Amino acid sequence: MINLIWAMDENRLIGSNNKLPWTFKDDIEHFKKITRNKEVIMGRKTYLSMLKYYPSGNLPFSKIYILSKTLKESNKFILVDDLDSFFKNNNKDIYVIGGSKLYKESMKYADVLYITHVLGRYDGDTYFSEYSLESFRLKKFWLKPKLIFCIYERTKI
């Protein structure tokens, strides 16, 4: 199952200088709860930005895949160079955790979307691309101050 998880403001902003444009404890805890000890895929910039939060390099995921053509092999992650083949040949639960290009390319494969809507508008430089929820149904949502957490499932046709 392919899962996408992200937080965005009212303008679909998701990043500022390779960091989150906001700090909400509830958002961070939600992300950690969903992704801890899971297999994740991310882009190079997202990986490098996560290392700022985990300087030891020990990220809290069971397996890390990185979509990159410039990073060198490492024992901390597995390089992916063909996203379509990766998704088509993988039958595990995978969580897409950023960045914007990877989200855009992954949306067509997504089974579940974990979207945190951050109320308000923030300053930044990275946006989630336009998308449609037409093929998804809202499974669950809940509110926290300045945040709306939503889980959408792809409808089976």
> Does the domain formed by 2-154 have CATH 3.30.43.10?
no
- pLDDT over 80 (residue 156): no
Q: Which of these, 104, 97, 100, 107, lies nearest to 126 by C-alpha position?
A: 100
Q: How large a percentage of the chain has pLDDT more than 70? A: 99
- pLDDT over 90 (residue 54): no
pTM, rounded to two decimals: 0.95
What mean pLDDT comes out for the span 97-106? 97
Confidence at 85, pLDDT banded by 50, 70, 90: very high
DSSP string covering 78-136, please? EEES-HHHHHHT--S-EEE---HHHHHHHGGG-SEEEEEEESS----SEEPPP---TTE
